[in-house]
Amino acid sequence: DAGVIQSPRHEVTEMGQEVTLRCKPISGHDYLFWYRQTMMRGLELLIYFNNNVPIDDSGMPEDRFSAKMPNASFSTLKIQPSEPRDSAVYFCASSLAGGGETQYFGPGTRLLVL
Amino acid sequence: AQTVTQSQPEMSVQEAETVTLSCTYDTSESDYYLFWYKQPPSRQMILVIRQEAYKQQNATENRFSVNFQKAAKSFSLKISDSQLGDAAMYFCAYRSATSQFYFGTGTSLTVIP
């Protein structure tokens, strides 16, 4: 299996632009998670899905952030409009159902908003 | 909500020696899972080891082992025979019965040759 795939790996954009991050989970995994990592705030869970349905989006910082999972093999995290404080590494992770199943992380997208 | 605390922001160990990283958590659940992840400079998050709360036996994976104290809500990671490649940020994580994950703030491990 190729593991969790994220694209792009690096993104540099200007303030006010729309940013779309993409994730392909491991085939067969029921859960998908989006995280943000910064030096100041560490690793933060933004939102997670179960069977393509958002379960908990309480970590989404504000309305500028939105996430979708139109099917079992694809998810997007969108920031519109982007701001410099959104600069971070964004991780996608997936896991099988069940309480003990391990989360597998993608390589992350490093976002820089100028 | 559950919380995960890693009280050691930084640790160092001499190559070939043993080091223990601490983690405590707060929960009212009886059934949950605990994990240690490693994040090297590449930023990739890599699973090191996991522990089921219902199991009393401590998990072991080669040079990595845990000391799981359920009553004390403690979950420390022991790395034996430390290698240069072990240098990384280590995160303790808790998975609840609702599949929510909670991560600690991490411990940066330096391995001294």
Measured between CA atoms, how close is A77 to chain B, in angstroms? 19
- A46 pLDDT tier (thresholds 50, 70, 90): very high
Mark yes or no for CB contact A102/B50 under 8 Å.
yes
Residues of chain B with pLDDT under 50: none
Residue the block writes with tokens 């996991």: B50
Q: Average pLDDT for residues A73-93, to the nearest whole number? A: 96
- Extract the tokens encoding B5: 């605390």
**Pick from B91, B94, B93: which is nearest to B31 by CA?**
B94
Q: How far is CA B105 from CA A40, A68, B62, in A?
A: 10, 27, 25
The proportion of chain A whose per-residue pLDDT surpasses 90, expressed as a percent, equals 78
Taking the C-alpha atoms of residue A69 and residue A17, their distance in angstroms, rounded to an integer, is: 22
Set of chain B residues whose Cβ sits within 8 Å of the Cβ of A48: 99-101
Amino acid at A107: P
Instruction: Classify residue B27 by its DSSP letter.
Output: -
- A66 pLDDT tier (thresholds 50, 70, 90): very high
Mark yes or no for CB contact B101/A33 under 8 Å.
yes
Mark yes or no for CB contact B33/A103 under 8 Å.
no
CA angle B84, A109, A107 (to 5 degrees): 45
Length of chain A: 114
Interface of B with A (CB under 8 A): 31-33, 35, 37, 42-47, 50, 52, 91, 93, 95-103, 105-106
